[in-house]
Structure 1
Amino acid sequence: MTYSVQQIAKAVGASAEGDIALKVRGVAEPASAQRGEMALAMDPRYASSLSDGAAEVAMLWEGADWRALGLKAAILPNRPRYALSGVTRLLDKGQGFKPGIHPTAVIDPDATLGDGVSVGPLAVISAGAMIGAGSVIGPLCFVGVDASLGEGSFLREHVSIGARVTIGPRFIAQSGVRLGGDGFSFVTAELSTVESARQTLGDQGDAAPQPWTRIHSLGAVTIGADVEMGMGSTIDNGTIRDTQVGDGTKIDNLVHIGHNAVIGKNCLLCGQAGVGGSTRVGDNVVLGGQVGLADNITIGDRVIAGGGTIVLSNVPEGRTMLGYPATQMSKQTEIYKSLRRLPKLLRDVAALQKVVSKTDKAD
C-alpha cells in the first residue's frame, strides 16, 4: 500500500513541499532508505547520512533546506516526533489477523460478542463475557467468566483476561499480558518475622517462622479507556475492591501492578517497573525502567521517577525522584557527586593525618 507525500502530510497535520505527488511505500533510516521509501531525518544530526541512501523524500524538521539535501520533496512538521506517531499509524501493516471467528475458537453460548468482533484460532471466551464491537481477540487468548472488554479493543496472541475483569474501550494488550490473577497476599496465624522486622526496622524479636496462609482475592481488575499494556505485563486482582488503572495510561513490558493498587490517568510505566499492593499513583505519573514502589504508599500527580528508583515512602505531587532510597533528583545528583569526590577526600585526609602526626612527634 502506497501513499503520496501530500496524503502523509495531511494525515500527520504537517506541511509538505516539492513534488508532493511522489509515492511512498514505507519509511527507513536515512542511510538505508531506498527509492520509494521516506527517510526519517527529523533532527539536523541525521541529515548528513541522507546522501548514503537513495531516498527522494524525507521527513525533516521545521525550516529545513530540503533542496540542499538533494531531495525532491519533504514533510516539515513543527513537532517531528509527534508527527512520527501519525506516520507509523498510517503505515502499520498490523499482525495479519483475519476477520471473523476461527472454527477452532471456543465461545461459550452465554458470551456476548458485538458487531465485527474477530476471534482467532484456539481462543477461549467464557460464559458471561462481553466483547465490544470491532474488537480483536487474537490466537490462543483467554477471556474469563463475566469479563468485559470495551469496543475497539485489541488482544494479541496469548493474552489472558481473568474472570470479572472490566476493561474500557480501545484497550491494546501485547503478547503475554495477564490480567486478573490472585494477589500476592499471605498471612501467618501469629506475628510473623517479617512484621516484626518491619516494625523494628530490622530486629525480628521473638517471632517464630510459620507457614503462610493465602488471602483470597475477591476483587478483580478495572481498566479505563485507551490503556495499553506491553508484553508480559501483569495486574493482580484486588483483595476486596478492584485493582484500578485510569484512562490513557500506558504500561511497558514486564511491568507488575500489585493487588489493590490504583494507577491514575495518563501515566507512563516503563519496563520492569513494579507497583506494590495498595499503593496509589496519581495522574500523569512517569515511572522509569525498573522503578519500584513499596506497598501502601501514595505517589502524587505528575511525579517522575528516574530509572532504577526505589520509592519507600509517600511522594508529593510534582516531584522528580531518583535513587535508592528515592530522594529528589537534585539532591540525589549532589549525593552522587559527593560520592565521586569521596576517594580524593579520603586521600587528602590521610595526607593531613600524616602531617599532623609528624608535627606532634616534632613537638
Structure 2
Amino acid sequence: MSHTVAEIAAALGLEAVGDTSIVVEGVAEPADCPPDRLAMAMKPEYAEGIAKGSARAAMLWGEADWQALGLEAAILAPRPRYALSALSAMMDPGQGYPAGIHPMSAIDPTAKLGRDVTVGPFSVIGADVIIGDGAVIGPQVHVGWGTRIGDDALLHAGAKIGARCTIGDRFIAHFNAVVGNDGFSFVTPEASGVEKARETLGDQGEAKGQPWARIASLGGVTIGDDVEVGAAAAIDRGTVRDTRIGDGTKIDNQVQVGHNTVVGRHTLLCGQVGIAGSVTIGDFVVLAGQVGVSDNIRIGDNVICGGSTIVLSSIPAGRVMLGYPAMKMDQHLETYKALRRLPRLSREVAELRKAVSKEDPSD
C-alpha cells in the first residue's frame, strides 16, 4: 500500500506541495502519526496535533500554511473530507478474504457465478442464483433461491440474502445484514384493538383478545446499484410487490426497512432508523439516527429529519424536520424554548393570581 505524495495527489486530482517523493504506507491522526504515514489534518484544530507526532506529510485544507506546521510535504484539498473518500478507498487493505471458491462452501449446481467470484467457507449459494463478475462472498453467507446479485458485490461474513431478491452492481452488505426476510404482517379475525384505537384516536372499545394470523411475504426486495447495507440492518421483502431501494442509497447499522417500502436514490438512513411498512421515501433524503417513520407515509425529495424525529404524517419535499411528532425544525426549536420557560411562567402566573386576589375588594 505504499504511495508517494505525488501519486496520491494525482489519483485524487489535488495539489501536492513540498517534497512530493516522500513515500507513505497509510494514514494516521496527526498526534499519533509516524514518519511513514500521511497525517489527516483536515481542519486547523486537527493540525494542532501535528507537532505531537512525527508526520512528514499531511492532507490539509486548501489555504493551509504547510511549512509553518513543520511539514516536508502536503496535499491541499479544497474539501478535505470529500477527498478522504477516495483516499480511504485507495488505502483500504480490505478484509483479506482469500480468492476463489472455498471447498467448504455449498453452491447449488443450478447457480451461475460470474468471472473471478470469491466464495468463503460455510457459505451457501442456493438454486438458480446468479452472481455477477468480481463478487466477493465472505464466510457464512447465505444467498437464497432465485436471487440475482450484480457485478463487484461484497457480502461480508454472516450476511443473509433471502429468496427472489434482485440486487444491482457494487452492492455492499456488512456483517449480519439481512435482505429479504419476511415482513412483520399479522392480522386478527375481527378488527383488533389497534385498528379501533387508530380510528378513534385512543379508544379501543371493549377489549377482546384475538390470535394473530400471519400474512406471508410473496414479494421480494429490489435494490439498485451502489447500495450499501450496514451491520445487523434488515430489509423486509414485500407482501405482494417488492420492497425497493434506489441507486446509491446508504443504510447504516441496525436499520429496519419494513415491507413494501420504497426508498429513493442517494438517500441516507442512519443508525437505528425504523421504517414501518408501505412507506415511500424520496431521493436525497437524510434520516438521522433513531428516526422513526409510521406506516403508509410519504416523505418527499431532499427532506432531512434530525436525530430521534418521529414521523407520524407525510412530509413535503425539501423540509427539515425535528421532534416528536415531527415538525419544521425552526418551529420545534421555538416550541422547545417555550417549553423550557413554562416553569418560570407558571410561577409568575401564580404570583399574579395572589396579587390580584389581595387587591379584590370582595376579600
TM-score by length of 1: 0.98
Name 2:56's counterpart in structure 1.
56
Identity %: 57
Matched-pair contact (CA < 8 Å) for 1:161–1:179 = yes
Superposition pairs of residues 57-136 of structure 1, within 5 angstroms: 57-136=57-136
Is the counterpart of residue 141 in structure 1 residue 141 in structure 2? yes
What's the offset of the Cα at 1:13?
1.5
What's the offset of the Cα at 1:360?
2.1
Superposition pairs of residues 130-279 of structure 1, within 5 angstroms: 130-206=130-206, 208-279=208-279
Distance in 1 between residues matched to 2:182 and 2:57, nearest whole Å: 52
Name 1:7's counterpart in structure 2.
7
What's the offset of the Cα at 1:206?
3.5
Matched-pair contact (CA < 8 Å) for 1:299–1:317 = yes
Distance in 1 between residues matched to 2:48 and 2:282, nearest whole Å: 43
Distance in 2 between residues matched to 1:57 and 1:203, nearest whole Å: 67
Q: Secondary structure at the match of 1:16?
A: strand
Q: In structure 2, list runs of 5 or more residues that go unmatched.
A: none
After superposition, what is the alpha-carbon deviation per residue over 1:196-249, rounded to whole angstroms, capped at 9, x for unaligned?
001000101245221000111100100000000110000111000000000000
Indicate the larger mover: 78-87 or 201-210. Answer: 201-210
TM-score by length of 2: 0.98
Name 1:320's counterpart in structure 2.
320
Distance in 2 between residues matched to 1:201 and 1:79, nearest whole Å: 50
What's the offset of the Cα at 1:344?
1.3
After superposition, what is the alpha-carbon deviation per residue over 1:63-98, rounded to whole angstroms, capped at 9, x for unaligned?
211011100000001110000111111110100001
Matched-pair contact (CA < 8 Å) for 1:13–1:77 = no
Q: Secondary structure at the match of 1:337?
A: helix
Matched-pair contact (CA < 8 Å) for 1:43–1:60 = yes
Q: Secondary structure at the match of 1:60?
A: strand
What's the offset of the Cα at 1:340?
1.1
Q: Secondary structure at the match of 2:67?
A: coil
User: 1:261 is matched by which residue type in structure 2?
Assistant: T
What's the offset of the Cα at 1:110?
0.3
Name 1:32's counterpart in structure 2.
32
Q: Secondary structure at the match of 2:334?
A: helix
Q: Secondary structure at the match of 2:226?
A: coil
Q: Secondary structure at the match of 2:191?
A: coil
Structure 1 residue ranges, 4+ long, deviating more than 6 angstroms after superposition: none
Indicate the larger mover: 206-215 or 22-31. Answer: 206-215
What's the offset of the Cα at 1:356?
1.4
User: 2:182 is matched by which residue type in structure 1?
Assistant: D
Q: Secondary structure at the match of 2:16?
A: strand
After superposition, what is the alpha-carbon deviation per residue over 1:271-328, rounded to whole angstroms, capped at 9, x for unaligned?
0001110010011110000000100010111110000000001100000110000000
Distance in 2 between residues matched to 1:9 and 1:354, nearest whole Å: 74
